[in-house]
Amino acid sequence: MSAFTARPGVVGDLDYPGGISALDVHYVRPGLASSHLIVESGRAALVDAGTALSVPTLLAALTRRGLAYTDVDYVLLTHIHLDHAGGAGALVACLPNAQVVVHPRGRAHLENPAKLIAATKAVYGDEAFSALYGEILPIPASRLISATDGMRLYMANRAFDFWHTPGHALHHLVIHDRLTDSLFTGDTFGVSYRELDVDGRPFIFPTTSPSQFDPQQLKDSVRRIAALSPQAAYLTHYGRITGIAKLAEQLLTQIDQLVGFAHELATSPEPHKALNTAIFDWLNTALDRHGFPADAALRHHLLDSDVELNTQGLLSWLARQRNEAKLNQ
């Protein structure tokens, strides 16, 4: 259990305009990861599914909102990392009418999750894997829809457009809700925890986690999101943010800064430790500027898991770069 208690209205389930809610999937800590519920004319969609362990929480949230399991038409996956898609199989086993929409590159891994499980175990280790993700169920082909770039889908009369946005992962897409002119960005538009808001201003930073992080692709995708100039973005980590043009500029600068740290520290005696420290210090300084309370324990509590994943992802990207350079020699 966390030593920190959740602040109501800051973490947990949050309700937004347009029938949109962020439902806490209780991954790692409260307020870290969400599944967004969209309700339109009695029909429902979930954007991202949490882990297999999130399923009872999500089903209870539907019931609390007066929705039957048969009311859910879609589970829309931004990408197949297990904090977003690990629960999709167990979830649709309970939602008889739900189709799962996924990037074409992710589809085979949902039908047969063996490789996805092995890749995630390589990042987290066997023991942490079970505690974090539970049992990953395959999804029958008949329930899967591959979302091509530019595909449009309707729920009742509400249109959703799907755009491919590689950079965080090759199997990443974002979903444009035309009714509210908002985008569900998964991890492409970084992370922004509501606990870090100061006077309503969001604190944002990119996620560079393993194993397909690619800075150039990620910057192109952030630009693509900004070019759609949505009213709001809904981040899986966590909830709604506005002022997208300005935040996009910040993310573009930050991606370059993170890559700069990685290049600079790759040859140090302990690159992992050095990079981890550098990323935390960098966020710490940014939080000072942001006006966030100088509570070191709270800052570590909120940032350590991302700092570690960003460190791993940057180092694995650098290793890939070096291998490619060697192959090209």
Query: Contact residues for Zn ion (CB under 5 A)?
Result: 83, 187
Phi, psi of 173 (to 5 degrees): -135, 160
Cβ count within 10 A of residue 190: 27
Looking only at the bridges linking them, the beta strands covering 99-102 and 72-76 are: parallel
**Smallest separation (angstroms) from Zn ion to the CB of 120:** 12
For Zn ion, which is the closer residue by CB, 24 or 187?
Answer: 187
Q: At what angle do helices 271-290 and 296-327 cross, to 10 degrees?
A: 130
CA 66 to chain centre: 27
Burial status of residue 156 (CB atoms within 10 A of its CB: 0-12, 13-18, 19 or more): exposed
CB of 50 to Zn ion, least distance (A): 10
Q: How far is the CB of 77 from Zn ion (least distance, A)?
A: 11
At residue 98, what is the residue type? A
* Cβ nearer to Zn ion, comparing 187 with 195: 187
Residue 189 vs 261, nearer CB to Zn ion:
189
Q: Which is nearer to Zn ion, 86 or 215 (CB)?
A: 86
Q: At its nearest, how many Å lie between Zn ion and the CB of residue 81?
A: 5
What CA–CA distance (Å, rounded) separates 12 from 137? Answer: 26
Question: By C-beta, is 184 or 265 nearer to Zn ion?
Answer: 184
Structure tokens at 167: 């950079």
CB of 187 to Zn ion, least distance (A): 4
